[in-house]
Each structure stands twice: as structure tokens, then as C-alpha cells.
């Protein structure tokens, strides 16, 4: 018989300390990195918007100071996200609502990371959280999480297996994503060539040939469950509501956040929230032609967003964009050509995404088997 593996509360094999409330007004260009909630993704640290603090400021954040081999976990918002602290991240400290988890001598640091990063453990953390506006979980609740603690020899072996599994998975994912990007780029370049055939065609400001209509604000508490996607500032629907404010087909431009300026096309009825719709004058501008023009000029829209904190893009920011306006027959012919190429490219990308989804599912199963969760 295989001997059973003992389980212990997390705080018996690791020291848990909450983060420090660093003041954003005192951030400096370089120094000790502050690990914030937004930095901690599922299994890795984002370097996109790094923030730094003066390690010699005289403030009492010693307990939040991180060491190589520590784990950090989010306690607010997307609770239960975990990342591993590598030596090249240091010096660093955990911000408020980011939990420092320092492994003790009974547990191998990489093994502990893999256990905490497993979806089963994250679901347990989420189940311990509460809050109506956003989720919160306490340090005390996380401290009581039971984790399997085999011998150190077995921990090291399993950590090495999972590290290798992650490495192979990461290489394959990177290759597939690169292939997907190349397909998208080829479709974009071909679209640019088709539009290039319209050089010399009279142009009109977008605001004169289309209505740019802002969405309506709606919060989670006001959403009534239904089949209607609520399109806001993200790449996917924020919620699903029971009533649309656009009947479709609709061109939508995201209005705020990291994806402000993202252009999407919706065939079905939708509820436009933190975004605005572009509604072409049917006698002057074909909707699909307009969509492809905006999509091909996606980068120009991104460059027009502003805001010191959360980026925003308003209808006025794109109203002056010069749109080529040939006759409607030419517009429809160009739109049909770009649609054909986009359909082919999109179909290939969907297959690639399906492969990645299958690979991710297999990775979860392998993790579960190796860790015994």
C-alpha cells in the first residue's frame, strides 16, 4: 500500500505576514520593488507597471520585505493568485492586501509554490472569501488551509517534475501564440494593402459619416441575469444582462482601462456600457467596411487614449479620424475580401486556441496527479 501523505495547516509549514501600506505618493523611479495586487497573476509576476520605494525611507515594513523563495498571494479582488519570488525580483516588499508566505524548513519552496498555485487550492481560497463589492479573504483563513506535506525528498522530486512540465508547456504555448500572432499580422497587412488601393479616395471625418454613441453605466448590482452581453472596457463581456441597448450588428470601441480603444464587432443584441458604439450612416458608409478600417487602424486608436491614471478613449478622440469613403459598392467589395481572409485566419487561430485549451486542461490534470490533490 502507498503510505498516506500527511496534511498540515499552511501556517505550520510557513510564516504568513500581511503586506505594508506603502504610500503611492512616495513611489520613486528606482529602488525596492513594491509587489501590488495587480502585479500578482496566476503563477507569475507582471512587470508591466512596476512601482518602487526607497528602502531607506525609515518606515517599518520589515515584515513585508520579501526573500528569494517566498510566495505572495492576493487577498483582495482576484483572491488566491500566487507568484514565486525569484532572486532577480529583489529587493522587494509586499504591498497591503498581498500576503507574504515564507516557507519553513519542513517544505521545499518550489513545492509549496506549485501546491498553492494549483486550481484546487485557489478554489479553496475563493470559497473562504467574502465581500459584496469585491472579494476579500483574511490571513487567518488562508493560514488554516490544509496542504499535503510529504518528505522533503518527495517534495523536491515533485517540484522538479512540475517545473519541467511548466517549462515544456510554456515553450509550446509561446510557439502557438507566436503562430497565432503571425496569422493575425498577415491578415492585418493584407487588409492594409486592400485599403491602400483606395489611396486618393476622398475622405471624411469619422464623426461626419457615423454616429459615435456612448454607452450607459451599469454596475454588477444593477445587472439582471439574462443572455445579453454587457460590453465594457475589457476584451470579453463584463456581465450578462436581460435587456440590450444596441440591437446589432454593432461596432464597439472600448472606452477605458488597459484595452481602451479596442475595436469589436457584435452581431447579436448587446448592452454597451463603458464603451461607445460607431454607427455608420447607411447611405454613406458600409458597417463592415467601417469596422475593418477601424480594426486595421487599431494602433492609432490605442495611441489616442489618455488619462493620468486609468486610460480613457472618448468619442471626441476618434471623431476626426479620416475615413476613405469610396462608393458603397467598392466599400462592400473591399469588406467582403477582408472578411474572407479574416475568416480563414480566424478559423486557424480558433484551432490553435483549442489546442492551447486542451493543453491547459491536461496540465491541470497532471498537476493534480503529481501533487495528489
Model confidence at 96: pLDDT above 90: yes
Nearest to 231 by CA among 213, 210, 214, 252: 252
pLDDT, one tens digit per residue, over 239-279 is 899 999 999 799 999 998 888 999 999 999 999 999 999 99
User: 278-330: per-residue pLDDT in tens?
Assistant: 999 999 999 999 998 998 888 889 998 876 567 889 999 999 999 999 999 98
Whether residue 80 contacts residue 137, with contact meaning beta carbons closer than 8 Å, is answered with yes
pLDDT tens, 113-134?
999 998 889 999 999 998 766 8
Task: Name the strand (E) or helix (H) holding 74.
Answer: strand 71-74
Contact status, residue 202 vs residue 189, Cβ threshold 8 Å: no
pLDDT for residue 230: 93
Report in angstroms the alpha-carbon separations of 131 from 40, 120, 137, 224, 329: 20, 21, 9, 19, 55
Averaged pLDDT score across all residues of the chain: 87
Q: Where are the alpha helices (DSSP H) in the chain?
A: 109-116, 119-128, 139-143, 152-196, 206-209, 287-296, 298-304, 315-318, 328-371
CA-based angle 149:151:156, to the nearest 5?
95
**What is the number of alpha carbons within 13 Å of residue 182 lying toward its C-beta?**
7
pLDDT at 2: 47
| CB of 215 closer than 8 Å to CB of 238 | no
What's the pLDDT tens digit per position in 45-84?
A: 999 889 999 999 889 899 999 999 999 999 998 899 999 9
Q: In this structure, are strands 228-231 and 239-241 parallel, antiparallel, or unpaired?
A: antiparallel
pLDDT greater than 80 at residue 211: yes
Contact between 253 and 294 (Cβ < 8 Å): yes
Residue 208 predicted with pLDDT over 70:
yes
Cα distances from 154 to residues 2, 150, 363, in angstroms, run 13, 6, 20
**Cα dihedral 237→243→249→253 (10° resolution):** -40
Confirm if 101 and 63 have CB atoms less than 8 A apart: no
* pLDDT for residue 196: 65
Helix (H) or strand (E) holding 102: strand 98-103
| Structural contact between residues 53 and 31, judged by C-beta atoms closer than 8 angstroms | yes
- Report the pLDDT value the prediction gives residue 1, as an integer from 0 to 100: 36
- The pLDDT value recorded for residue 233 is 79
Amino acid at each position: 500500500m502507498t503510505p498516506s501523505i500527511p496534511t498540515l495547516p499552511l501556517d505550520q509549514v510557513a510564516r504568513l505576514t500581511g503586506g505594508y501600506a506603502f504610500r503611492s505618493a512616495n513611489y520613486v523611479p528606482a529602488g525596492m520593488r513594491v509587489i501590488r495586487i495587480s502585479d500578482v497573476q496566476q503563477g507569475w509576476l507582471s512587470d508591466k507597471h512596476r512601482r518602487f520605494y526607497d528602502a531607506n525611507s525609515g518606515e517599518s515594513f520589515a515584515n513585508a520585505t520579501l526573500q528569494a523563495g517566498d510566495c505572495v498571494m492576493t487577498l483582495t479582488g482576484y483572491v488566491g493568485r500566487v507568484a514565486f519570488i525569484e532572486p532577480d525580483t529583489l529587493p522587494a516588499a509586499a504591498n497591503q492586501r498581498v500576503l507574504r508566505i515564507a516557507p519553513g524548513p519542513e517544505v521545499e519552496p518550489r513545492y509549496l509554490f506549485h501546491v498553492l498555485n494549483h486550481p484546487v487550492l485557489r478554489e479553496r481560497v475563493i470559497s473562504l472569501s467574502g465581500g459584496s463589492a469585491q472579494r476579500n479573504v483574511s490571513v487567518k483563513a488562508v493560514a488554516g488551509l490544509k496542504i499535503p506535506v510529504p518528505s522533503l525528498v518527495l517534495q523536491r522530486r515533485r517540484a522538479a517534475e512540475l517545473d519541467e512540465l511548466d517549462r515544456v508547456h510554456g515553450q509550446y504555448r509561446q510557439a502557438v501564440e507566436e503562430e497565432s500572432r503571425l496569422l493575425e499580422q498577415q491578415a492585418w497587412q493584407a487588409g492594409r494593402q486592400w485599403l491602400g488601393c483606395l489611396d486618393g479616395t476622398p475622405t471624411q471625418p469619422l464623426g461626419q459619416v457615423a454616429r459615435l454613441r456612448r454607452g450607459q453605466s451599469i454596475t454588477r448590482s444593477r445587472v439582471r441575469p439574462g443572455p445579453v452581453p454587457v460590453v465594457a472596457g475589457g476584451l470579453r463581456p463584463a456581465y450578462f444582462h436581460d435587456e440590450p441597448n444596441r440591437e446589432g450588428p454593432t461596432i464597439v470601441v472600448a472606452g477605458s482601462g488597459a484595452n481602451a480603444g479596442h475595436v469589436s464587432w457584435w452581431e447579436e443584441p448587446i448592452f454597451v456600457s463603458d464603451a461607445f458604439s460607431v454607427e455608420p450612416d447607411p447611405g454613406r458608409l458600409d458597417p463592415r467596411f467601417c469596422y475593418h478600417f477601424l480594426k486595421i487602424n487599431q494602433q492609432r486608436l490605442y495611441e489616442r487614449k489618455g488619462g493620468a491614471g486609468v486610460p480613457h478613449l472618448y468619442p471626441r478622440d476618434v471623431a476626426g479620424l479620416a475615413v476613405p469613403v469610396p462608393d458603397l459598392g467598392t466599400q462592400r467589395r473591399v469588406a467582403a475580401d477582408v472578411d474572407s481572409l479574416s475568416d480563414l485566419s480566424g478559423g486557424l487561430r480558433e484551432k490553435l486556441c483549442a489546442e492551447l485549451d486542451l493543453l491547459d486542461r491536461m496540465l491541470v490534470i497532471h498537476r493534480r496527479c503529481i501533487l495528489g490533490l
